[in-house]
Structure 1
Amino acid sequence: MAKPLLYSLPLLLLAPSVFADDPATDAKRAQTVADVIDRPGVLTPKGQFGIEASLNYTQNSSNRVSVVGYSVLPALVIGLIEVSDSDRTTLTAGLTGRYGLTNATELEIRMPYVYRNDQISARPISEGASDETINRDIDGGGLGDIEFAIRHQFNFDTSPYWVGSLRVKSNTGKSPYEIDTDPTTNVLEDAPTGSGFWSIEPGISMIYPTDPAVLFASVSYIYNFKETFDISGQSAEIDLGDTISLGAGLGFAINRDLSLSIGLSHQTILESEVNGQKDDEAKLLQLDSLTFGINYALSRTTSINISAQAGLTEDTPDFQLNVRIPFTF
């Protein structure tokens, strides 16, 4: 019996599409774990083209207490204590196209549309204020950062299988550094849809089939190119902190059409620099998240993948829900 889809692995960063021809019927269908063992190509086969529609929902909230002043006694602070609360919701609709250049090499392009809604409120509690002094509701949308990628599978005859990748992200989205801020609240007047930086991400992934399961792991490094922006009438060269990404997980078969997966991912975002110096507010960020996924084969050419991600650290988004529907021609 053929096993469920290798494609069901939502954290498999290297190759979110896995398609192959059925050797018995010559009909195209999503590749299964059994196919990986018999024919270990995990990228889009030569000459085939696949499209993936996706929708991502991200919810993130934070509460922050800022103290501007000095302490006279352990329980007495002279100055201003401000409490702020922010809730950020992001919807990203993406369309991804993949083409098999050879049986070992795959090309990809992804075009995202981003909608954001930020609700920010704050009040100084040291002044006895009864009303919130800041209450902003910012929303907006537009084209995000378009991405290009190439992947290559290094080995076919023995497992584990190794796949290298190189991803390039553009700056087509609206950068937060290009948006005016409210001078009284220091809050952006519009919602950004991109980072504002070009970046390049080399990476390598490992796939180890052990029927009916698949183990996978990946590591990558995101390098952001420096950009110069006009901030408050002054030119500033910003070097956004690079990112080290690690991920690992397990996908396993329930039946012929249904499979589940679980994975853990970690990101370390290095400190940013402004004009060659570290910004006073820059800090090293540690992002950890746990993901559960389910995949169901709708037909020989189409499946649906749903994954939910929970943030494990303070700086990680609280919750993410991702729905992907890949199909091939």
Structure 2
Amino acid sequence: MLRKTTLCSLVTLCVSANAIAEEESEARRAQTVNDVIVRSGVLTPKGQLTFDASFSYTQNSSNKVSVVGYTILPALLVGRIEVSDSDRTTLTTSLSARYGIRDDTEIELRVPYVYRDDDISSRPIQDGAEAETDDNSIDGGGLGDIEFAIRHQFNFETTPYWVGSLTVKSTTGDSPYEVDTDPNTGAFKDVPTGSGFWSVEPGISMLYPTDPAVLFANVSYIYNIEDDVNVDGTSVDIDLGDTISLGAGIGFALNPDLSLSFGLNHKTILKSKVNGSTTENSKVLQLDTINFGASYMYSPNNSFSVSAQAGLTEDSPDFQLTFRMPFSL
């Protein structure tokens, strides 16, 4: 009997091809691309509880040249040229629990732990400095923003399969506005582990089995709830820019146990507002990534998956590597 493939595997197959096993006598949550081709249910069956442990490594770096001054002639600059370099490494471990309320509806709770290592340095090359004059290195970790999601599969008898979802993100992580900063430079003294704002994300996903592959696509909208925060002793109303997310790709089975995936993701982060107005330095961010994944069922009740993500635009993370291990009790 072919095992079933997880919703996360197929809805975001471009990020990861998850796998949870199925016993011969009991239908469990879908796990491999093959199973979606022959079985119509892609959510956790009624009364079943499954877990998903994951670990991800994210690297992001940027180099900027800032010019403070003015030009008298096209080749003559009066002022200061400063070069800054930043490297950010983020390690995230999380445990997710999914429970099938009905065969067409499941709920999920995700608890992440975030560790960050930020290294930011700058050098005024106009002054001929031999070493960095401003070097800020911080690291630390803590509980991230806990998420709760509910998903519902709309159809079983016809293809493509449609799955709707609603995700709510909390503010359990340390907000950037709660972390102490250096009064002289404004740099963080500790690393934030959360966004500091509640958010709601409705979305819909499409799965289309076409032996031996499954085509998938998804669209969602992240709405960040504006809130008052304390900035230097002053209450400020912050409205983080909402996010439009699109994704599509293909997963295909090499055999009943091994499957591969490929996909593209795009996110547009809209401008943020402060006290109801858009600030001068805010801009619309475009994040595009390419994703590769592989999932292997190494025993009747255990599986392992790995995925790699590379940024295609300047604002996207340079690289992300994720390992996942679903299991059932």
| TM-score of Structure 1 vs Structure 2, range by shorter chain | over 0.9
Q: What secondary structure, in the 3-state scheme, does the structure 1 residue paired with 2:182 have?
A: coil
- Whether 2:199 is the aligned partner of 1:199: answer yes
Pairwise CA distance, 1:34: 4.4
Correspondence 1:158 to 2:158:
yes
CA distance change for structure 1 residues 199 and 166 in 2, over 3 Å: closer, same or farther? Answer: same
| Alignment partner of 1:74 is 2:74 | yes
CA contact (8 A) 1:4 1:257 kept: no
SS, match of residue 150 in structure 1: strand
1:162-197 alpha-carbon deviations (Å, 9 max, x no partner): 000000000110011112222332211111100000
Q: Where does residue 92 of structure 1 map in the other structure? A: 92
| Distance across 2 between alignment mates of 1:116 and 1:29 | 33
Q: Give yes or no for the alignment of 1:258 onto 2:258.
A: yes
Deviation track 1:138-178 (CA, whole Å, cap 9, x = no partner) reads 00100000000000000000000000000000011001111
Post-superposition Cα deviations, 1:38-85, rounded to whole Å, max 9, x if no partner, equal 430100000000000000100000001112221111122222221100
Distance 1:14 1:160 in 2: 21
In the aligned structure 1, how far is the partner of 2:297 from the partner of 2:21? 14
**Aligned partners of 1:118 and 1:145: how far apart in 2?**
19
Q: Is the deviation greater in 294-303 or in 239-248?
A: 294-303
Q: What is the CA–CA distance in structure 2 between the aligned matches of 1:48 and 1:311, rounded to whole Å? A: 36
Query: How many angstroms apart in 2 are the aligned matches of 1:110 and 1:16?
Result: 18
1:218/1:13 CA distance change after superposition, 3 Å: farther
Instruction: Go from structure 1 to structure 2 and tell me whether the alpha carbon gap of 1:4 and 1:244 turns closer, same or farther (over 3 Å shift).
Output: same
Query: Which residue is equivalent to 1:123?
Result: 123
Of 7-16 and 306-315, the range deviating more from structure 2: 7-16
Tell me the distance in 1 between the aligned counterparts of 2:140 and 2:257.
Answer: 39
Match of 1:220 in 2: 220
Q: For 1:85-117, what per-residue CA distance to the aligned partner results, in whole angstroms no more than 9, with x for missing partners?
A: 000000000000000000000000000000000
Conserved in 1, the CA contact under 8 Å of 2:221 and 2:244? yes
- TM-score, normalisation: structure 1: 0.94
Aligned match of 2:109: 109
Matched with 1:143 is 143
Structure 2 CA distance for aligned equivalents of residues 103 and 2 of structure 1: 18
For 1:35 and 1:314, the matched residues in 2 are separated by 38
Runs of 5+ consecutive residues of structure 1 not aligned to the other structure: none
TM-score by length of structure 2 reads: 0.94
Q: 1:287 to 1:87 in 2, by over 3 A?
A: same
Query: Which ranges of structure 2 fall in alignment gaps of 5 or more residues?
Result: none
Is the CA contact 1:5–1:295 (under 8 Å) kept in the aligned structure 2?
no
For 1:106, give the aligned amino acid: E
> Residues 264 and 244 (structure 1 numbering): CA distance in 2 closer, same or farther, change over 3 Å?
same
Pairs within 5 Å for 1:58-69: 58-69=58-69
State the Cα distance separating 1:294 from its structure 2 match: 0.5
* Percentage identity across paired residues of the two chains: 64
Please name the residue that 2:276 is paired with.
276
**Contact 2:84 / 2:123 at 8 angstroms: preserved in 1?**
yes
Q: Is the 8 A contact 2:118 2:139 kept in 1?
A: yes
- Matched residues in 2 for 1:298 and 1:30: separation? 16
